[in-house]
Chains A and B, each alone.
Chain A
Amino acid sequence: MKYLPLILANIVRRNRLRNSLTILVVALAILLISLLIGIQAAFTSASEVSDAARLVTRNKVSLVFPLPLSYGAKISALPGVQTVAGGNWFQGVYMRPENFFARFAVQAERFLAMYPEYRMSAAERDAFLRDRGACAIGKSTADRFGLKVGDQIQLKGDIYPGLWDFTIRAIYTVDQDAYDDTQMFFHWEYLSERIAQDAVGFFMVQVRDPEQAGDIAKTIDALFENATAQTRTETEKAFSLSFATMMGNVQLLLMVIGAAVFLAMSMVAINTTMMSAQERTSELGIQRALGFTAGTVGALVLVESETIALLGAALGFAMTLGLESGLKSALASFAPTFHVPLWAYAMGLLIAIGIGAVSGGVPAVRAARLRPVDALHAL
């Protein structure tokens, strides 16, 4: 503690602009890495919170091709199967294309029974189930567009052309950031009646015993092996991961660009901190001449560097916290479950310590090795 005034004076009174910029660069690096971790986590969060007792059955050729509704009854009849709910990806446009959020037509009662994580009041749930033209939307989407229960919304169909009107009867919430509370669900029957098709895009299948899920998936696919539309059944986690894999290239691109920018920022911070210590070689020599041991001088350089890095981290964390909610809205269509997990902050802290160690380590060793007589000759 007795060296604190010396360390702080070196940071605050010497090269203020350069130190401020170094702190800012470290902060931006921490912000960047935190946001990248948040986006990465958003891509994989669906698979992480998937229920092991839920399977997804879809057309073996592609998700784009439908399955006959009648498959649902056959799957339900299989031993170990508890509930089956069919559904379709609706897509559509709400006012403008950029107002994206996921929209599904589902066999609502069974679907909600399978997804207790989507929470809504009993009254809203009943109202939603009773009204065939109703929909349920997540709280984030409701907040994003200022929607409330009772409001009418209209989607312009693209996969299913035409204008589609809905009454919001329920707004669901989630109790974990990893659950997606941006989606919209409406009655599959509403879609089916209008397009006059008895086909679904997928079946959600809940099994009684998660340990039997693998065998049941094989049984389902075997059941339709000789049918016109063959099926592919997988766990909900595998299904979610396949979506994440589809986004893989985007993820990889983001991570590579992010990592490059992060590395460049780290190098800038390291470079400026090293220069700052290098410029003070003679002063460090004076300290050695005054009786500061090699270890003390080296430690002071290192602590100063770590202090700058940690100030940068603190600023970076503050920026991350400040921007997180805004980014969650901005990324709603791209990464709806975006949030910066706690471990990202821990990683940011470790990275800041690492930047401080690398940028301070070399000059610290140099300072410790400095012979005071050489430093005095250099004056």
Chain B
Amino acid sequence: MTIALSISDVHVTLGHNHVLKGVSLDVQPGEFVTLLGASGSGKSTLLNVVAGLQAVDSGHLTFDGVNVDKRPPQKRNVGVVFQSYALFPHMSVGDNVAFPLRAARRPAKERRAVAEEMLALVQLPGMADRSPASLSGGQRQRVALARALAANPGVLLLDEPMAALDKQLREQMQVEVTRIQRKVGITTVSVTHDQTEALTMSDRVAIMRDGVLVQVASPEDLYRHPVDEYVAGFLGEANLLPTAGGRILDDARDADVDGTAVLRPEDLELVPAGDACPAWHVEGTIHLLSFQGTRFRLELLTGAGRRVVCSLPTSVDASALVVGAPARVACRNPERVHVIAAPPSKAMVAA
């Protein structure tokens, strides 16, 4: 069972803090949407609203078109993987996984069968009698996921699911959780502050900032066409440069500027001296060159003192790239240049 989730104009105030300021989001059945934002952006609160753990001041929540505003968490039939996993330490792995069925008063036989089935799904067959304390971090997460899916919920909620894992395990579990989510085909809302995780796992990513959804789009769309500087800087590295009439205006006065060009470091390339230069180009002096294994990272300082980051393939002849020497970089494919219709703010490179 999987459902369409609709959040419309939800407001939440905690104390004097307006945490959610009119959030609306529609999630299609089976879709994986990630709420991405810095801590304090309200993403966890939004997850709690869907789960029913947080009451709303105003706004509505529907599951398959049915209003669930007044429905208590017990009756919402959502599955949650908590940040700490929140496994019950005194119960066996099998009893943990079968807990939702116990709460639903299903017979013991069915509980055991479902626990086995779920543990097989998360690739922990035969672990039902183990204690959670005897499992590794990754195994505990699988158990938490198995428990979340055991009662065949309509929505799966993941609260910072990878936060407790080390980096290598994190990448492995991102793939694994996505595999299971696709296999079960369950509508999923995940919360994270890790952009790689958001890009890897999601069908769509919702960028959240100060209680508002800034942009909701597919990972590629977000990366290519950010609506503002915040989104551009939040996902990957971006050079944000003032533009006027389809060109970069390095020494522009505010009056002339009609927008901000978002240039990704990997879309820039060196233009040898004497070659004709494409429209989208920047001139400057070399500030820093570092070798990063698969790429060179080149930093230019423009005449106006802006820092431009450029990621070059290692096939580039690096001998000419001396610190202090002049250089030109350009984006040859105009489609890769995205212009935000607002002049850039002071921070030119957001990491």
A and B associate in one complex? no
Please list the residues of chain B having a beta carbon within 8 angstroms of any beta carbon in chain A: none
Please list the residues of chain A having a beta carbon within 8 angstroms of any beta carbon in chain B: none
